[in-house]
Amino acid sequence: MHKKPLSKQIYDARWCYLFVLPCSILTGMFVIYPIGMSWYFSLLDWSGFTKEAKFIGLQNYYEAVNDEFFWDAFIRSFIFMFGTVPVKIVLGFIIAVFLNNQVLKLAPFFRTVIFMPVVTAIAIIGIVMTFVFSPFNGPANKFLMSTNLTSAPIDFLGNPDTVLPTVMGVYVWKWLGITMMYWLAALQTVPQDVYDAAKIDGAEGYRLWIHIILPIVLPFAIVIILVEAVGALNVFPLIETMTAGGPFFSSEVMEIYIFRTAFVTDSGTMPRLGYACAAGVFWGVAVLFITVLQGLWMRRTRRI
């Protein structure tokens, strides 16, 4: 029997094509097309609100790489990533190990509580946190002062030195529930008798953890790190609602920079969609580059 001709194959699969069509159209309109267009927009001198757009080649890119605010935001995004991801991975693992223990009767309750911030709207969290960390009688300062940990209120979000660590802390709090769930999924792939053995053996138990349990969950760890790393670069809603990049741009990450140049008109300057797109493309390529690097590293580690 020989292979059917292509036209016949396509005709036979006509229903398949019809079925993939709706989703493909949506993805095409709102994901694929925008990716292509942002490349094109990035070559224009265009405010976004008028029809006038001038083709200026790579000039936007040239301007971006020469803007120190651009590089500050670029680096800050990575500081944010390297500051939050390891904390989330380690803390999430520790909590998951405790909660994976079936003897702990209240584990489902604790899991629910820790997951609660994850389902809470991120913009609301950002706004509420501006209350919580307010230097004027905010609960965080009230607590610190009533326990005598500080004598004067700390302006967590108003001081360029404390703002980024504070936002990073809130980010970890908001999303730790997801990391915990990832780890729980990983730990549940280990057979129960391995845990039982680890429990009874005492000192031997630690060796079981290192030689048996960790190798089983390691492949998961790599996926978790990848997902978490990309996630930590998408922090627009939290930072926009908490600080809008301030004070004095000291918490401005890449996405805030793009939003600011595209839509926020400070003191009479025109918004510049073309320029914002160039910054966005540059950023997108950088993220993609990191993702690919991590993907390669993932494959190598899995082979070993």
Partner 1 sequence: MDEENSKNMSRYLNFIAEKNQVKYLIITIAFIIFSFFWIYPLLWVLSASFKTDFEIWGGLGLIPDRLVWENFERAWFGANMGRYFFNTLIITVVSVIIVVVTTGMFGYVIGRYSFPGKKILIGILISTIFIPQGYTIIPVFDLLNNLNISKNLIGLTLATAGHTPVIYILLFAGYFSRVPVELEEAAKMDGAGFVRTFISIMLPLTKPVVATVSILQVLHAWNDFLLPVVITLGNPDIRTLSVGVYAFKGEYFVDWSGMAAASVITILPIIILFLFMQKYFVEGVQGAVKG
Instruction: Please list every residue from 31 through 60 that binds partner 1, using CB under 8 A.
Output: 31-35, 37-38, 41, 48
Alpha helix (H) ranges present in the chain? 6-12, 14-27, 33-41, 59-65, 68-99, 107-119, 122-132, 139-146, 163-187, 192-200, 203-208, 214-231, 236-242, 254-263, 273-303
Nearest distance from residue 119's CB to partner 1, in Å?
Answer: 4
Residue 65 binds partner 1 (CB under 8 A): no
Nearest distance from residue 221's CB to partner 1, in Å?
Answer: 10
Report d(CA 275, CA 64) in Å as an integer.
Answer: 8
Instruction: Please list every residue from 163 through 182 that binds partner 1, using CB under 8 A.
Output: 173, 178, 181-182
Nearest distance from residue 172's CB to partner 1, in Å?
Answer: 12
Instruction: Please list every residue from 230 through 269 that binds partner 1, using CB under 8 A.
Output: 230, 233-234, 236-237, 240-241, 254-255, 258-259, 262-263
252: exposed, middle or buried (C-beta count within 10 Å: 0-12, 13-18, 19+)?
Answer: buried
Taking the least distance from each CB to partner 1, the nearer of 163 and 229 is: 229
Residue 5 binds partner 1 (CB under 8 A): no
Query: What Cα–Cα distance (Å) separates residue 111 from each residue in 96, 118, 224?
Result: 9, 12, 18
Report d(CA 304, CA 149) in Å as an integer.
Answer: 49
Which range touches partner 1 (CB under 8 A), out of 19-27, 57-65, 86-94, 160-168? 19-27
Report d(CA 141, CA 242) in Å as an integer.
Answer: 17
Which range touches partner 1 (CB under 8 A), out of 61-69, 80-88, 106-114, 156-164? 106-114
Residue 270 binds partner 1 (CB under 8 A): no
Taking the least distance from each CB to partner 1, the nearer of 25 and 79 is: 25
Q: How many residues bind partner 1 (CB under 8 A)?
A: 95
